């Protein structure tokens, strides 16, 4: 209950900040990239690929994929791919919040803003539940699925949109 409340506060807090903050339309750019949106799109794509690793490793750990012998390496792969995925999303989130804010100008940008808040709120809830000892067995896969769904929606409403309108540019 407390974990869900904290996650909800994170999601709502990000949304409120993004909505009341005056967008600067510039936040990050890395050498070699043509724009902040290109950086954001490629980093989000890396995060999405890592989330696919998360999905596969979770399915092995929960016995849904039996062709791979689960060992301690699968749990380590799951933890580290998740850590790196979240670290990669941080500059993306900073760019979204600081440069663009919570956008409602189109259905795509509204959904993207909502899923961004949902992603971090759900992620925080899942991380807090990992620290609890008496968590129902179904809760972590459910939250993991929600994080996966949110990341997929974020990637589709940002990176895929960017690549289809601008090409696979750096």
Q: What is the pLDDT of residues 26-52, one digit of tens each?
A: 666 666 667 778 888 999 999 999 999
Residue 69 lies in a domain: yes
Residue 51 lies in a domain: yes
Report which of 151, 149, 134 is spatially closest to residue 88, judged by C-alpha positions.
151
Residue 55 lies in a domain: yes
Residue 169 lies in a domain: no
Domain residues for the domain of 69 are 2-164
- Tell me, what's the pLDDT at 40? 87
User: For the whole model, what pTM was predicted?
Assistant: 0.87
Phi, psi of 65 (to 5 degrees): -120, 115
* Inter-residue contact 25 to 37 (CB < 8 Å): no
Residue 98 lies in a domain: yes
- Tell me, what's the pLDDT at 51? 95
pLDDT at 21 > cutoff 70: yes
Which of the two residues, 63 and 58, has the higher pLDDT score?
58
Residue 54 lies in a domain: yes
How many structural domains are present in the chain? Answer: 1
Tell me how far apart the 2 most distant CA atoms of the chain are, in Å.
51
Residue 76 lies in a domain: yes
The 10s digit of each residue's pLDDT in 67-121 is 777 788 898 999 999 999 999 999 899 888 888 889 999 999 999 999 999 999 9
- Tell me, what's the pLDDT at 28? 65
């Amino acid at each position: 209950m407390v974990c869900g409340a904290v996650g909800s506060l994170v999601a709502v807090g990000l949304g409120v900040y993004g909505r009341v903050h005056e967008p600067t339309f510039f936040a990050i750019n890395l050498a070699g990239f043509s724009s902040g949106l290109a950086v954001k799109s490629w980093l989000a794509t890396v995060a999405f690929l890592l989330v696919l690793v998360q999905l596969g490793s979770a399915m092995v750990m929960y016995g849904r994929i039996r062709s791979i012998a689960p060992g301690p390496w699968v749990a380590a792969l799951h933890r580290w791919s998740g850590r790196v995925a979240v670290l990669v999303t941080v500059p993306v989130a900073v760019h979204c919040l600081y440069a663009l804010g919570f956008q409602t100008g189109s259905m795509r940008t509204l959904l993207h803003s909502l899923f961004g808040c949902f992603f971090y709120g759900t992620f925080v809830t899942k991380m807090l539940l990992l620290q609890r000892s008496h968590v129902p067995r179904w809760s972590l896969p459910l939250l993991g699925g929600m994080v996966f769904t949110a990341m997929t929606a974020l990637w589709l409403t940002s990176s895929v949109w960017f690549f289809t309108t601008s090409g696979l540019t750096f």
